[in-house]
Amino acid sequence: MPTFLALIAGAAAVAVLIWLRSRFFDFHGQSPEHYAGTEPRFDLREVFDGPLACEGVIYGPFGRVVSRFTAEMHGSWDGASGTLSEHFRYDSGATQERAWRLTLEEGGRIRAEADDLEGVGSGAQSGSAVRLQYRIRLPENAGGHVLDVTDWMYLVGDGRIINRSQFSKFGIRVAELVATMRKTTQ
């Protein structure tokens, strides 16, 4: 019986260490405050104003690329409220139209809405970074699952945005997206 208890205690300790690593030292261990004062300053109204181009990949749960995409985006603002329209083309030939409705609130907080979200997303812009968190319902042809998403966007010196997003279900990461965005002229 002591061997069984030692096995259970060891498994519990490993589980706690994995949770601590993912909570404090991994993707979710960062917060917008970590980027306060960094340059260039990420202002959604400037960065997502006008036409943008996007290229990216989606990784599946085992770390392999499962999809590639390009997107044409267009942002427009009226004061603190903005819309970011997105037209995606996937390597499978599928296309997708989406539109974010974004509202900037006090202290750099962001309210994010879209037709495929469950509820309202929230986030913050701080220094050169933006974090958004939301629940998205995948299209029926992708299973129709509702996933928890954490989006991090980092503005780099040449005005490009590096976007890294993690998708999870029941706390288990099921996909990751890495993309770049840049302003274009049309």
pTM, 2 dp: 0.84
Q: What is the pLDDT of residue 6?
A: 73
Confidence tier at 137 by pLDDT (50, 70, 90): very high
pLDDT (tens digit, 9 = 90+) per residue, 3-44?
A: 877 777 777 766 665 555 555 556 667 888 889 989 999 999
Q: What's at 113, amino acid-wise?
A: E
How far is 8 from 20, CA to CA, in rounded Å?
18
Beta strands in the chain (DSSP E): 50-59, 65-78, 81-90, 95-104, 109-113, 121-126, 129-137, 146-155, 161-169, 172-183
Burial class from Cβ neighbours inside 10 Å (0-12, 13-18, 19+) for residue 83 reads: middle
Task: Name the one residue in this structure whose structure tokens are 């770390």.
Answer: 63
pLDDT value for 178: 98
d(CA 12, CA 148): 25
Q: What is the mean pLDDT of residues 101-128?
A: 97
